[in-house]
Structure 1
């Protein structure tokens, strides 16, 4: 019987996370026709929070004896998650699903750049070039100054930057932090943010089909939360990260089937450039790691 390696498990977690998050996005975009932003996020959180904490309890992961360093990283991750959720869902309510997802594909590029800037990880000229070309692809998707451009494209870009912070914080957490607990705390942060915003939003009547949509979103976002934390902590990031592109595939299919959205040619071209440059960046990262490992193993 074949045994899954850490890399394979990490890849499966990433595929599961990206699929779950994108299906959740489709549910949330559907409910946006009737319910406001903060109301939608708050009601989804009201379902997600008790389920995640119950899951923590069942799995024996409801623990609070973490180190100060881990609590700081959990707080950073939760704050980034809460603000990025507001920005991303705002963009989602006002843009085609595939367009928002395509912008998110810049994450491997932003993670590589941030790791180099803040963690002093090596970044050669090839990967710097790939990052520049990748951000050019993002510009093709956003098309500043074009007739389809709006401020919500900038919301999506800001969400990418904050998700980069979230993922790097998850990567730096020790293995003493249970993935489900980190997800439950993050969900609490998102729900609290929505609760604080409710007085400034409009509360619409909630009907049974709204609860069904929000319930579906809650189930999938729980899967996304848990799998995304696990994916960043199992296996090599260079192997696991490319499977993030699953979300673009799922978004294209759901956008067409559910919302009848067909992205423009420039969006496809931009998304293709972003994905290709992200793949190249991760490939170069793996090559550099293997070369360093070989050098470390040579006799002195």
Structure 2
């Protein structure tokens, strides 16, 4: 679960499977083929879903804390070589260090809680709850950023949370206790999105990428070592190390997608991630979402799309 930027300060959900931040369109205008951009966005969502599915599979044999540690550590190592960071060390220097560190910890908390949740819940359930983060961002953007939501967006927020309640069904007495992990991941992710919005105008994409990854990797080292369990086979070793690849490649594709097409066009396609989650959940774990998950996810997606629509209307005005 990790970092992707909030292009154009959009409130669209960003995959929790990648700790980076896409470049701001103000700095890198989108040019190219919109259809290619959409295709890349769909591929990025698949990679982010693959990260969660891999974490869920590995959690059956190794500690989720170990997975989180290797996920960030391998991501940082790969990013150093992928972006040849030794050639431009100045790009790594954060301008607002304290906020960068706080942002890194919100991302780390999001990843930890999400990987703990997927141990027990279906992938579609965790993603449906996580997609409520933009509603929380919309609600908090007023007091924290001075961006107050109108009556229509508040109505969409309320409807969206009703969708989350449909997924979790706290009144049924059958709500799995691990839903608490997903809710904590959603809250952490909302603050991560807000901090990304605050930092995007002044920080480079590489700085946002590396600071969040390095801080998380260092912070998780004690827990990762204490909970270490050697993977059962070379296959499991490969899966463990692939978590960093999923995040890095997914993030890079996301950046390229935003260079091909405007963020306002790409943002709605982030919701396709829930479809990938359902497919992978069925193929890998034989999970079939219940009616409440399907209905709740539909409400959450519809509410999120409406908030995106209102964002675009207000921006044009």
Q: TM-score, normalising length from structure 1?
A: 0.83
Distance 1:283 1:16 in 2: 23
Match of 1:131 in 2: 157
Q: Offset at 1:235?
A: 7.9
Q: Would you say 1:96 and 2:111 are equivalent positions? A: no
Q: Offset at 1:263?
A: 0.6
**SS state at 1:63 partner:** helix
Q: Deviations over 1:96-155 (max 9, x none)?
A: 111111112213322222222311113111110110010010011111143541232121
More displaced 10-residue stretch of structure 1: 273-282 or 27-36:
27-36
Distance 1:122 1:247 in 2: 28
Cα RMSD (Å):
3.1
Larger radius of gyration: 1
Distance 2:261 2:145 in 1: 19
Q: Would you say 1:165 and 2:191 are equivalent positions? A: yes
Match of 1:34 in 2: 61
- When residues 161 and 29 of structure 1 are mapped into structure 2, their CA distance, relative to the original with a 3 A threshold, is same
How does 1:251-290 map onto structure 2 within 5 Å?
251-290=277-316
Q: Offset at 1:193?
A: 3.3
Match of 2:246 in 1: 220
- When residues 168 and 8 of structure 1 are mapped into structure 2, their CA distance, relative to the original with a 3 A threshold, is farther
Q: Would you say 1:76 and 2:99 are equivalent positions? A: no
Structure 1, unmatched stretches of 5+, are 292-300
Match of 1:245 in 2: 271
Q: Offset at 1:267?
A: 0.7
- What is the aligned residue count? 288
Match of 2:70 in 1: 43
Q: Would you say 1:57 and 2:96 are equivalent positions? A: no
Distance 2:250 2:202 in 1: 20
Q: Offset at 1:286?
A: 1.3
How does 1:113-132 map onto structure 2 within 5 Å?
113-132=139-158
8 Å CA contact 1:180, 1:226 repeated in 2: no
